[in-house]
Amino acid sequence: MSTVNDSVSATHATPTFTKPDVVSMAVAPTMASYETLYKTYDWSQTEKALNWPRKNGYNLATLCIDGHPDEVMQRDALIWVSKDGKEERYTFADLKRETNKLANALTRLGIKQGDRVFTFLERVPEVYISVFAALKVQALVGPLFAAFGPEAIRDRLSDCQAKVLITSPELKGRFEQIMRDCPSIEYVIVVDREGTYKLTVETDPDVLLYSDLMASADAAFDVPHTDKNQPSIIHYTSGTTGKPKGAVHRHYSAVSQAATAKYVLDLQPETDVYWCTADPGWVTGTSYGMIGPWALGTTQLVYEGGFNPETWYKLIQDYKVTVWYTAPTAIRMLMKAGEAPVRAYDLSSLRHLLSVGEPLNPEAIVWGEAQFGHVFHDTWWQTETGCMHICNYASMTVKAGSMGRPHPGVVAGILDEDGNELEAGQEGHLVVRPDAPSFFQTYWGRQELYDSRFKNGWYYTGDRAWRDEDGYYWFVGRADDVINTAGHLVGPFEVESALVAHPAVAEAGVIGKPDAERMEIVKAFISLKAGYEDSEKLREEIRLFVRNRLAAHAYPREIEVLEGLPKTRSGKIMRRLLKARELGLPEGDVSTLET
Ligand code: 6R9
């Protein structure tokens, strides 16, 4: 515990964007007054307003797609733009039909309630169709980043014994490299958008063409009665030790995802075109790139390609995007690209901007306001919470640099090491009550680890923060070694494991090194096996080795070769010491250091 020091207090004095006059706003926000709603709200109000549960319970496909009134069914649910600028549109009715067909095909393959189905695709419409088709048969769905390498895929598929992998001709090769380690996979379904993939006769696992399955599938499907606690989506997230763990969500999550889509994203489905730039491989891409917005009946833009300032502005202009949910690293990269591209496009459709994943620095907020005429609204949450928990709202004063205030229905706190609640101005562990319907239900196969995150009715987020006198929360840092690079959480252990798999690497210690653009970059310290010499060429080879095995975002951008790594007497590499030395900070208690 420490009292907020001068530098933190200084953050407090950063620019404040005073609460707008709600009456004069072109579009009145859904939340007229934070204070009033916070006092009166509980999650069940959203459930009632949306007429949930439905006849078949809480199936996410019913809540987000099939169950909308006729006029909404005719609305575009998904406007998809490919990397090369081709457009496809899917109404809610189209998605209902396509997901019905794939649900029938999955049923025919014997996929049933509780089975695990993974997607490993670029951001194409089939990801969205596959996720909701699998949810219709009550499978547990795991969307994977297309950036994942073979090791990352293997860790996830084998951990929860997945049965089906839906992938593309381009990505399938990465699965094949580790196929032997994933005997639970019975079917690989190949989405071949180009129509050029030749099916060879393979046996184990069965390889099937998505288009063949769809061609012969019935367009009618009876979505089974689905309990609120039925597992729905699994996202793997990184910790300090061990492999990534699978946070399991349930169909009931839609209640708080819809509520926050309404009150934080401020979605007004009759008029909004909403763009969430997150990939479905990340929880933001499912909670707010699928479930929340579609539960309300909102039209979403999805762009297959990656970050590019000109393309992004052009998409906003051409599709008249009104609400835009993105991430600090992207905003900082837009800042770097400067004002000229902003001026080259008509971005006047934008009315509400938001950010998630890492601390949003005040400069980015100030810049956004100057360029777009709107403030970026920061939102804080985690894979585990499933929905936004601490946020800035359209109708609330924004203090640049603060994550905002707890969403109505959320109780948050700051605790000291003994679990006592701290006063305003004191830094400690950020905790929340695990009440939101979207709260994770378990880590797959790791119940003890799940239980260890809760104490005295609080969920420990692993973040450190403080609260000011107005109830605004300010992020300080992680309480653990997890690295946040451009919004991706990277577990040092995963990178260290990948590093030591390289023949030249004897041992490895990995830290997050502060970086102006990406918040942190992955930095690795390694020692070499006898017979290997340090060289730029070797370090580049090792960087690529990790990149190809693990993920494009998880490889060490910097590698430093040391004679030996600092270890505890029990042989654990002391990342804390590596970090302190890197940053020129005091080394702290080194009494356990092996000498
Ligand atoms: C949705 C998501 C969660 C961790 C979280 C924190 C960091 C997220 C933040 C933020 C500062 C914000 N984080 N939002 N830090 N300000 N607005 O990001 O989920 O990938 O599980 O990451 O990310 O450290 O604990 P996830």
Task: Print the SS3 string covering 145-174.
Answer: CCCECHHHHHHHHHHCCCCEEEECHHHHHH
Which protein residue's CA is at the shortest distance from atom 11 of ligand 1?
359
Six-digit token pair at 110? 């014997």
- Give residues with Cβ within 8 angstroms of 584, minimum separation 6: none
Return the best residue to mutate from 257, 382, 384, 553 for the ligand 1 pocket (most ligand atoms within 8 A of CB): 382
Range 187-221 burial, b when 16+ CB lie within 10 A, else e: bbbbbbbeeebeeeeeeebebbbbeebbeebeeeb
Backbone angles phi, psi at 425, to 5 degrees: 90, -5
Task: Report d(CA 523, CA 562) in Å as an integer.
Answer: 13
DSSP per position, 183-207: TT--EEEE--TTS-PPPP---SSEE
Please give the number of the atom of ligand 1 that sits closest to the Cα of 355: 17
Global confidence as pTM:
0.92
Which protein residue's CA is at the shortest distance from atom 15 of ligand 1?
358
Map 258-309 to HEC letters.
HHHHHHCCCCCCCCCEEEECCCCCCHHHHHHHHHHHHHHCCEEEEECCCCCH
Ligand 1 centroid vs 477 CA: distance in angstroms? 10
Which protein residue's CA is at the shortest distance from atom 22 of ligand 1?
382
Blockwise average pLDDT, block size 10, the chain, 595 residues: 38 77 88 97 98 98 98 98 97 98 98 98 98 98 96 96 97 95 97 90 80 97 98 92 91 98 98 97 97 98 96 98 96 94 98 95 93 97 98 96 97 98 97 98 97 98 96 93 93 91 93 94 95 96 94 94 86 86 82 66
pLDDT at 9: 42
pLDDT at 585: 86
Q: Provide residues with CB under 6 Å of ligand 1.
A: 237, 283-284, 356-359, 378-383, 403, 461-463, 475, 478, 484, 489
Ligand 1 centroid vs 476 CA: distance in angstroms? 12
pLDDT at 12: 52
Which protein residue's CA is at the shortest distance from atom 26 of ligand 1?
382
Which protein residue's CA is at the shortest distance from atom 10 of ligand 1?
358
Domains for the chain: give ranges and CATH numbers: 47-455 (3.40.50.12780), 483-583 (3.30.300.30)
Please give the number of the atom of ligand 1 that sits closest to the Cα of 462: 25
